[in-house]
Chain A
Amino acid sequence: MPIATGLEREELAAELKGEKRFDMDPPVGPFGTKEAPAVIESYYNKRIVGCPGGEGEDEHDVVWFWLKKDEPHECPVCSQYFVLKVIGDGGDPDGHDDDDEHHH
């Protein structure tokens, strides 16, 4: 473990364990349908999602939308079906008070 502190240290420590400290990758998975929707995880009650369509010929320009809790979304272009799964504390991601408990 090289000398480091703070977030940099957490990143390096996670790397040494073969894990990822940050959650930077876009969600991917099989094409979502009404029967088997694309499940998008979110720490909040809503999240901005982009639909790129299906594979190959079925691909389309990314269409962005707000996916909200308990409000499934159907892509207007390819009818891919999305639902939001809240895995965090929920609440609103907007505003300036979203730095959890701590205030500076």
Chain B
Amino acid sequence: MIESQRHSYHLVDPSPWPISGSLGALATTVGGVMYMHSFQGGATLLSLGLIFLLYTMFVWWRDVLRESTLEGHHTKAVQLGPRYGSILFIVSEVMFLFAFFWASSHSSLAPTVEIGGIWPPKGIGVLDPWEIPLLNTPILPSSGAAVTWAHHAILAGKEKRAVYALVATVLLALVSTGFQGMEYYQAPSTISDSIYGSTFFLATGFHGFHVIIGTLFLIVCGIRQYLGHLTKKHHVGFEAAAWYWHFVDVVRLFPFVSIYWWGGI
């Protein structure tokens, strides 16, 4: 087919992954609701759903890598698809996190009488923003600088240096997640402690979860760079990971300023 193909698009083969991903998502949401309402078997269905979903993600993206890197189906026109897709996905992620900051601001700008009319609510202990939160805030932008170093190395064809830069990026990401874990471990409140705990852990927790997703994405890029999958001219996966990483590192500044600092003093 290839030798006669006169258009530049990739007409994909039939794949089982869309339906398996849908079933995994269904089991995950139903199992999650069952689990949170203490239904019997909820934890089992949730776990099976998550395993199914993670398996689907692995094999689907494995297939995309085979089609692009090993079979050469990703012409210039095809590369535009995942590019636009990644950008739109990140835009939707910005809106997702915006909702949590909205909830936090909504609750803290005019604190209700139930929480003593003050923010942080009466009796709630908060973290000192000038300790670990401040220390942790520049780590993600530094990691963002390291991913830019990796990008320049890829564009310059310095393959080994790009791997080193990605290792540095991932290490900084892990340090950040480590600090976040430490902070949660020592936190004076929990997610069930008033609207403060709910909004604090929802916003910082989802941000931390996105840091972990971005870290996994960067690790995959590092492995692919090590294997020689990424070239000077074609490294869409890396670009998407770098955009995602910059989204995650810039977003860190919002919880620091509005939740830890403004909302914690």
Contacts and interface: CB of A to CB of B under 8 A. Distances in A.
- Residue among A6, A8, A24 facing the most chain B CB atoms (10 A cut-off): A8
B7 interface: yes
Interface in A65-104: 99-100, 102, 104
A2 interface: yes
Given A2-B233, A100-B1, A102-B1, A7 B7 contact: no
Contact of B72 (A6, A22, A99, A102): A6
Q: Give chain A's interface residue range (CB within 8 Å of chain B).
A: 20 to 34
A38 B188 CA distance: 79
Contacts of B234: 2, 4, 8
Contact of B75 (A3, A7, A100, A104): A7
B38 interface: no
Interface of A: 2-12, 21-24, 43, 99-100, 102, 104
Interface of B: 1-2, 4-8, 13, 68, 70-77, 228, 231-234
Given A3-B231, A10-B2, A11-B8, 17 more contacts: A2-B234, A3-B228, A4-B231, A5-B71, A6-B71, A7-B73, A7-B75, A8-B68, A8-B73, A8-B75, A9-B72, A11-B75, A12-B233, A22-B6, A23-B7, A24-B7, A24-B77
